[in-house]
Amino acid sequence: MRTPLIAGNWKMYKTIGEATALVRDLLAELGPLTDREAIVCPPFTALAAVAPLVAGSALGLGAQNLYPEAQGAFTGEVSPVMLTDVGCRYVIVGHSERRHYFSESDALVNRKLRAALAHGLHPIVCVGESKPQRDAGQAEPIVTAQVRAALVEVPPDRMPDVVIAYEPIWAIGTGDTATPADAQAMHAAIRATLAELYGSEIATAVRIQYGGSVKPDNIDELMAQPDIDGALVGGASLQAASFLRIIQYR
């Protein structure tokens, strides 16, 4: 059985004080989690302050990005070694905002994913299509091509450490959400692609999240789909009440 993963991507929100206050509010109400995982991904500046608060709790820690080298003259970048040192277990790679605003290529996303694995991090690799691509009937080939490109040279034995997040670009921060049926269809296509690459046993073990305007009022129906193994949550993870309801989906 795949353990569902609910991840809060805080993007460029929350000062250190705001981040620690939010984590304290989450932990005050969260309680133990036995059949699911939950993590928060604060901005880099808040990681060191949040890490001791979540240590030993039901809430895990992730980062929003990394650079695929352990160290070096890469001004402004953060390495996988730095992330593990501060207490991260997960890292988001290839988010559509990184691909769009910072021109991250499929090849760079692949390097980041492999660097994360090499340093003991669980990469959450994002894939998704734009509205014009979906309207043109290209959604599935676009997304499955991104999956294939992200996993170049990733050996089968590392795949259980990889999480794939399907985030249709047109649904991120817009209030629009893929219908549960549409989301399930794309998740099934991604899992079929994994089966082609690695075989059905590994494909069955890999967790595939849905992201894109996930909210308290749609999480239950999304999580009822057989191939949706969690959620990558943006705006709704910035408030304790809404993120707790998503973590505690029924």
Count of residues in the chain: 250
* 110: three-class secondary structure by DSSP: helix
Catalytic position from the list 37, 95, 119, 140: 95
What's the token pair of residue 91?
């890292």
Which candidate, 14, 183, 12, places its Cα nearest to that of 101?
12
CA 59 centroid distance within chain? 15
Render the burial of 30-49: b for 16+ CB within 10 Å, e for the rest. beebeebbbbbbbbeebbeb
Q: Which helix (H) or strand (E) holds 194?
A: helix 180-198
Catalytic position from the list 122, 140, 167, 187: 167
Integer Cα distance of 213 and 233 in angstroms: 7
167 is catalytic: yes
95 is catalytic: yes
121: exposed, middle or buried (Cβ count in 10 Å: 0-12, 13-18, 19+): buried
Per the CB < 8 A criterion, the answer to whether 125 and 109 are in contact is: yes
What's the token pair of residue 223?
């999580």
Residues marked as catalytic = 95, 167
